[in-house]
Amino acid sequence: MNWYERRVRESLEKLGLEVGGGAPHDPQVHDKRFFQRIVSQGSLGLGESYMDGWWSCAQLDEFFFRLLRADLGQKARRPWREALAALRARILNMQSPRRASRVANVHYDLSAEFFQTFLDRRMVYSCAYWKAADSLEQAQEDKLDLICRKLRLSSHDRLLDIGCGWGSFLKYACERHRCESVGVTISGPQASYARRDCAGLPITILECDYREIGSRHQGRFSKIVSIGMFEHVGPKNYRSFMRVVDDMLTDDGVFVLQTIGDNYSCLRCEPWLDKYIFPNGVAPSVEQIGKAIEGLFVMEDWHNFGPDYYRTLMSWYRNFKDRYPSLNFDPPMGRDKFFRMWEYFFASFGSAFKARHLQLWQMILSKRASPSVYLAAR
């Protein structure tokens, strides 16, 4: 047993994880190079060596939960690699309009058939609301309904959805409330899908960056929503994003923002997730959101249902395991490696919510709210 292996085994043992152990959360190592790789490459190496099949785990999400849970209590300083990455993010605008399309190309332009392997039938690609639901279908419908109630949506409203994805929220909202609406997405395939899926409803889909909405659309909206898109905006652009919303919202309008949240103000995301799943994604902190809305909006309500993202991701994971085998799809990295990449995403990301490192926030923001209390739905 070399120095790397001893060091890794010892560290994992402190967290109750035994390499080669018999518990479902114990990691099984199939290639000895694993030990040196995670010492030298950290979390990126952990993820890439999983994709390469160097290790596996019967219950991957529980492995991550133990890893992440231990860390939460400590007030550890940021490791130097993280600091270096933060420096890079300070210098560059990682989510400039030119760079912003990268996440669309890498991720959201994957075929709708692929996302159908794990999403619900409406194709809602954000955290579901499990308060009263016992299936993913129901939890996603409850989430869409919760947002409509928080928006107090009616047929008199003009509704804007920034980052509308495949149009699931707009379709739901317009079918029930008959409001005129506009959806914005940066992904061509998503825009086409949404236009097809929303045909016959008073819904316009614009394929553009959120910074272009003002030049692409005349008139303001009484209700604006953004669900799971703010994670791609980036700290350098939080203020411009809020200015866009402020510009597009009527004075008595309401804005509901759903976003993943971080306990810490970061300038970049976890390296493996950044490289393989969400290029340049960053979850905001309370402070970063506070700074971005200051003087523009009144903070009416802030609802955290982070642990529901764990349940959502576990549902996606189960669906993916069931349905991926029958999907006719040949990714450049090979079917198995691609499968393990998504497996790793569902399990590690889900555990970050269960361990409370990450949060799921829905906020209600108003501009010049009425003098009555905004009693938020839950």
User: Which residues in this chain contact a second copy in the complex, by CB under 8 A?
Assistant: 72-73, 75, 130-131, 251, 261, 263-265, 285-291, 293-295, 297-308, 310, 354-356, 359, 361, 368-369, 371-376, 378
Burial class of residue 284, CB neighbours in 10 A (0-12, 13-18, 19+): buried
Q: How far is the CB of 192 from a second copy (least distance, A)?
A: 36
Q: How far is the CB of 14 from a second copy (least distance, A)?
A: 17
Q: Which residue has the tokens 């790789």?
A: 37
Q: Are 157 and 222 in contact (CB under 8 A)?
A: yes
Q: Are 154 and 216 in contact (CB under 8 A)?
A: no
Q: Which residue has the tokens 């994003």?
A: 241
Quote the CA–CA distance of 377 and 142 in Å, as a whole number. 12
Q: Are 127 and 352 in contact (CB under 8 A)?
A: no
Nearer Cβ to a second copy, position 99 or 356? 356
Quote the CA–CA distance of 255 and 248 in Å, as a whole number. 10
Nearer Cβ to a second copy, position 179 or 227? 227
Nearer Cβ to a second copy, position 2 or 74? 74
Q: What is the separation, in whole angstroms, between the first and last Cα of the chain?
A: 54
Nearer Cβ to a second copy, position 165 or 350? 350
DSSP 324: G
Q: How far is the CB of 282 from a second copy (least distance, A)?
A: 15
Q: Are 257 and 299 in contact (CB under 8 A)?
A: no
Nearer Cβ to a second copy, position 224 or 266? 266
Q: What tokens does 295 get?
A: 């003087």
Q: How far is the CB of 50 from a second copy (least distance, A)?
A: 23
Nearer Cβ to a second copy, position 239 or 337? 239
Q: Which residue has the tokens 């490459």?
A: 41
Nearer Cβ to a second copy, position 289 or 341? 289
Q: Considering only CA atoms, which of 171, 358, 362 is closest in space to residue 255?
A: 362
Indicate the pairing of strand 55-57 with strand 221-227: unpaired
Nearer Cβ to a second copy, position 102 or 243? 243
Q: How far is the CB of 273 from a second copy (least distance, A)?
A: 20
DSSP H/E element including 241: helix 238-248
Q: How far is CA 228 from CA 27, 161, 192, 344, in A?
A: 32, 11, 20, 20
Nearer Cβ to a second copy, position 123 or 355? 355
Q: How far is the CB of 141 from a second copy (least distance, A)?
A: 18
Distance of alpha carbon 181 from the chain centroid: 23
Q: Are 153 and 173 in contact (CB under 8 A)?
A: yes
Q: How far is the CB of 34 from a second copy (least distance, A)?
A: 28
Q: How far is the CB of 359 from a second copy (least distance, A)?
A: 7
Q: How far is the CB of 165 from a second copy (least distance, A)?
A: 24
